[in-house]
Structure 1
Amino acid sequence: MELYQSFKTYLKEYMTLDSFIHMLVWDQSTNMPTANAQYRGEQIGFISKLAHEKLVDPQMGRLLNQLVPWAATLPADSVEARLVAEVAKEYEKAVNIPSSFMEKFFGHTARVYQTWVEAREQNNFALVSPLLRESLQYSKEYASFFSGAAHIADPLIDRSDEGMYVHVLQPLFQNLRTQLVPMIEQIRESEPVDRKPLLQHFPKQKQLQFIDVVLDHLGIDRTRTRQDFSPHPFMIRLAGDDIRMTTRIREWEVTDGLFSSIHETGHALYELGISSELFDTPLMKGVSSGLHESQSRLWENLVGKSREFWEYFYPKLQSVFPTQLGSIPMETFYRAMHHVSPSAIRTEADEITYNLHVIIRFDLELDLLTGKLDIVDLPEAWRERYKTDLGVDVTEVKDGVLQDVHWFADFIGGQFQGYTIGNILSCQLFEAAKSAHPSIIKEMGHGQFDTLHRWLKNNIYQHGKKFSTTEIIQRATGQSLTIDPYVKYLTEKYQTIYPTLQTS
């Protein structure tokens, strides 16, 4: 159909503008001189305005008016039908938002990000708090464009996790919290696990040497990816076959850089697996932050922190660090890696306590958006929640409200729920993959991940945003979202390390 081809051409122009924004964001986070923050903000803001104007152009409206009835005659799961439906949905949202707002906000976020970097280095929340207050106002203004929302946070959540609104997430998180808190209390009754094997000097270049070996085994495509460094690791697609990852290396902790790299590789594998048929369209991305995060957490935790993984890779790590690890048995190293102890830093949290970090941030977002909490009081509210929920004293803001980049690079609201949704889904999907291919665990012990990768690509990756998160879960697992496989995984795994942990 000629009209559909015109539609695809128009979308390619829109997606090209979007890719320019991604390039500027990646460069800002990796290579850009810090003095350029103001100008970079103007660049990002201007292109964001152009992209938004392209999406809401009357020509797009006319195309959709003709294509929507045509798409309704096609098979419901065809690419054409799904693409028209997705663009129509994005168009209906976008027409509510003035282009001038998009330009101002994204220009603002570039400035906030650079100020956050400085504030974090200086441990000085006051340096960035005025800009964060502006971000909160922008967030509220964005939510106001969608007057029918049940909760002010719902339009913000909808940007990354469509359908996972406050009325869904609050009971889900509460249910999970009631499972996790007793587990933490029971683990405290066991003898602490010694982390010292991990806390030696491991030179950066040698860590990177080992990380490269691991990523090659996981199936990363070096012709389509690149890894650099940033204060907060991330993955971003610059264009169809251009996936960028960043990591960080700590020379006095051997697994931080490794798991950071595996985590971002999980995101990259998802993006690399999307069908080229969806390139240059809004379907060329993961369907939601929760499903995307399920892949980074699956590869990081269920694969990278599994006993089978280390049965294969630990001798290789010992050969890279013979002085540090040569005399340390694999079981000792494995136990050290699974040390459970509440801490201040989300990205360093163990699997048992991690989701409490997310729930705290989610609750604080809601309080900020509803006016229950003021920006100036955010550091103290953060400290109180960490003391109450995790028993941790957060004494410095760089380890508190300044530790995560999210609120300083985007809206406030809808920024963290995807991490916990991803943790839950990672186990649900992994169970389905093992059920389909029982050989997966044995293969992991031989450093082979092709069967798992292929199942994930066939059931999740290739579809991009063609199907909703709910549809993907149902198609891949035959179930709706459930926390049961996740709680089962945590209990069974950590019982082998902490005998006092009881079966749920």
Structure 2
Amino acid sequence: MTAPTQTFASLRDHLHQCALIASAAELLQWDERTMMPTQASEFRAEQVAYLSGRAHAMRTDSQLARWLDELEGWEAAADPHSDIGATVALARKDYEKQRRLPGELVESIAAATVRGQGCWDTARRNDDYAQFQPALDEMISLQRRAGELLADPGQSAYEGLLDQYEPGARVQDLASVFAGLRDELVQLLSEITVSARQVDDRLLKQKYSVDGQRQLSTELAKAVGFDFQRGRLDETSHPFCTSLGPSDCRILTRYDEDWLPGSLFGTLHEAGHGMYEQGLRPDWYGLPPGTFVSLGIHESQSRLWENLVGRSLAFWKHFTPQINETFSQTATPEQWHACFNRVQPSLIRVEADEATYNLHIIVRFELEQALISGELSTNDLPFAWNERYTSVIGVSPPSAANGVLQDVHWSAGLFGYFPTYTLGNLIAAQLYESADEALGGLDAQIEQGDFAPLLGWLRENVHTHGRKFTADELVQNTTGKPLSAQPLIASLRRRYAMVYDLA
């Protein structure tokens, strides 16, 4: 009989090979979103489908089950939070989940993702929802089938999809948390709306050169800790981050000379994702100890750097000389800070202020559930989108490009992804609160441009653990408390009190 150590070595090598194939598919998809000629999408879909199918076949190989059976009861794997224990336990869980999906469905989804994103890009540029609708119908049909197969007993198809991004999350629990958060945000918005002090945002109504934005975005990402020796910053139509290996993290942003905050905060957001990827253990790449725990935790890293750090007054006290020099301005840190924290209901999620951002997520969370369940058809989606935006956020989209076509997610099959943004906001505020206490006050460090203590704290308490703890366990272990909305509400009230007169 093979010794457990040898069996585990075989299991680890097999999972690493799966990760190699998956990373090759990720590279092709990164190229698709950055450099690929538009006419190459059909062949690219074939390439990505093939690689995704090969990776799925390896992840569901019956040999995996035999190795895992041999490791049953192995003393070295007894602790589920150890490197070996987490790898064995989560490899079994992943294997059982993946076995529910036929290979042909995995390949079909992968191909539809490439075609769908290309179709979405064109439709958004043309402001033509009808051009995108057939691709969306195809993706919804594929994702509904996948969700039904992935769902555990008692789960809906949507929850089967949600579980891929936030393991263990249930719609009822999320809806309850979001409802409470919504009430708090509505109250905060009402106080800001009637405040006698409002923001003079003429500073942001100027044109800012794209070259200057490129330069400053790169400098900000480098300053907070994104390692350009192990990553790069590029441009795309919808910002994202992808990891192509333990030392190859790609972050992407977009530039608009009429909207400076988009590139600056988009870059800080993606840099936060990238620093999490760069903080995962490279010797366990593709295995649970070297893989992120959930998208809620991943989003907490991006939102922490974008908002808790990047929108703070301390941050702009440090970077005001730099931004003024780059764009020939004479504004004070307080003026930049006020402009970057102005609250106003808006159409575009990625440009929303913190007070209204989660309302954008609530709209999407409700709509995508209805799309997957079949309660809402794609024929009625634009009307439903506009109706929700008017009633929930208080703005009415004038076009599909600024409405239902603004996000890439559904074209990429990412149903169940949106709720993780709000979870990320909640987790980010709670982590930042604990880091601030542990490090003796972050404002003074940030004002001096010293971001290493915060990044080091996140490395130690979040990044290095990989998937060895669930998201709930990680939050509890790191902060000493279960997840709560109160740190986020308290953080928003403190920051907005610097800009508005709050009750």
Shift of 1:282: 4.3
What per-residue deviation string (whole Å, max 9, x for no partner) do you get for residues 149-205 of structure 1? 422211110000011210210101001011111211221112431221022122111
1:199–1:254 contact (8 Å) kept in structure 2:
no
1:157–1:415 contact (8 Å) kept in structure 2:
yes
Which residue in the other structure is 1:435 paired with? 437
Which residue in the other structure is 2:34 paired with? 30
**SS state of the match for residue 252, structure 1?**
coil
Percent sequence identity over aligned pairs? 36
Shift of 1:147: 5.3
Q: Choose the corresponding residue for 2:461, options 455, 459, 462.
A: 459
- In structure 2, what residue type is equivalent to 1:118? T
* Number of residues of Structure 1 aligned to a counterpart in Structure 2: 497
Q: Choose the corresponding residue for 1:312, options 311, 314, 318.
A: 318
**SS state of the match for residue 404, structure 2?**
coil
Q: Choose the corresponding residue for 1:13, options 11, 17, 24.
A: 17
Shift of 1:359: 0.3
Shift of 1:9: 1.2
- In structure 2, what residue type is equivalent to 1:345? I
1:237–1:271 contact (8 Å) kept in structure 2:
yes
TM-score by length of 1: 0.96
Which residue in the other structure is 1:357 paired with? 360
Within 5 A, what are the aligned runs for 1:138-287?
138-145=142-149, 146=151, 148-190=153-195, 191-287=197-293
- In structure 2, what residue type is equivalent to 1:405? V
Shift of 1:76: 3.2
Distance 1:492 1:195, change over 3 A: same
**SS state of the match for residue 353, structure 1?**
helix
Distance (Å, rounded) in 2 between the aligned partners of 1:329 and 1:408: 42
Distance 1:268 1:380, change over 3 A: same
Q: Choose the corresponding residue for 1:393, options 380, 391, 396.
A: 396
User: 309-318 or 280-289, which moves further after superposition?
Assistant: 280-289
Distance 1:87 1:385, change over 3 A: same
Distance (Å, rounded) in 2 between the aligned partners of 1:69 and 1:42: 42
Which residue in the other structure is 1:479 paired with? 481
What per-residue deviation string (whole Å, max 9, x for no partner) do you get for residues 377-399 of structure 1? 00000000000011101110001
Distance (Å, rounded) in 1 between the aligned partners of 2:450 and 2:399: 43
1:71–1:80 contact (8 Å) kept in structure 2:
no
- In structure 2, what residue type is equivalent to 1:236? T
Distance (Å, rounded) in 2 between the aligned partners of 1:255 and 1:104: 37
Which residue in the other structure is 1:448 paired with? 450
1:136–1:369 contact (8 Å) kept in structure 2:
yes
Distance (Å, rounded) in 2 between the aligned partners of 1:152 and 1:73: 33
**SS state of the match for residue 236, structure 1?**
strand
Shift of 1:73: 5.2
Distance (Å, rounded) in 1 between the aligned partners of 2:341 and 2:469: 35
What per-residue deviation string (whole Å, max 9, x for no partner) do you get for residues 411-453 of structure 1? 4x30200100000111100011011111422111101111111
2:114–2:412 contact (8 Å) kept in structure 1:
yes
Which residue in the other structure is 1:116 paired with? 120
Kindly indicate whether residue 408 of structure 2 is the aligned counterpart of residue 405 of structure 1.
yes
Which residue in the other structure is 2:420 paired with? 418
Kindly indicate whether residue 353 of structure 2 is the aligned counterpart of residue 347 of structure 1.
no
- In structure 2, what residue type is equivalent to 1:167? Q
**SS state of the match for residue 468, structure 2?**
coil
Distance (Å, rounded) in 2 between the aligned partners of 1:73 and 1:317: 52
Shift of 1:482: 0.5
Unaligned runs of 5+ in 1: none
What per-residue deviation string (whole Å, max 9, x for no partner) do you get for residues 222-252 of structure 1? 1100111000010000112110011111112
**SS state of the match for residue 242, structure 2?**
strand
Distance (Å, rounded) in 2 between the aligned partners of 1:46 and 1:281: 22
What per-residue deviation string (whole Å, max 9, x for no partner) do you get for residues 246-284 of structure 1? 111111222221111111000011011112232242443
Unaligned runs of 5+ in 2: none
**SS state of the match for residue 352, structure 1?**
helix
- In structure 1, what residue type is equivalent to 2:131? L
- In structure 2, what residue type is equivalent to 1:385? R
Distance (Å, rounded) in 2 between the aligned partners of 1:304 and 1:333: 11
Distance (Å, rounded) in 2 between the aligned partners of 1:305 and 1:71: 48
Distance 1:179 1:332, change over 3 A: same
Which residue in the other structure is 1:297 paired with? 303
Kindly indicate whether residue 57 of structure 2 is the aligned counterpart of residue 70 of structure 1.
no
User: 396-405 or 207-216, which moves further after superposition?
Assistant: 207-216
Distance 1:147 1:293, change over 3 A: closer
TM-score by length of 2: 0.96
Shift of 1:475: 1.1
Query: Cα RMSD over matched residues?
Result: 1.3
1:379–1:401 contact (8 Å) kept in structure 2:
yes
Distance 1:280 1:159, change over 3 A: closer
Distance (Å, rounded) in 2 between the aligned partners of 1:252 and 1:320: 16
Distance 1:58 1:176, change over 3 A: same
Which residue in the other structure is 1:55 paired with? 59
1:120–1:402 contact (8 Å) kept in structure 2:
yes
Distance (Å, rounded) in 2 between the aligned partners of 1:55 and 1:271: 22
Q: Choose the corresponding residue for 1:367, options 351, 367, 370.
A: 370
Distance (Å, rounded) in 1 between the aligned partners of 2:41 and 2:184: 44
Shift of 1:286: 1.5
Shift of 1:74: 3.1
Which residue in the other structure is 1:492 paired with? 494
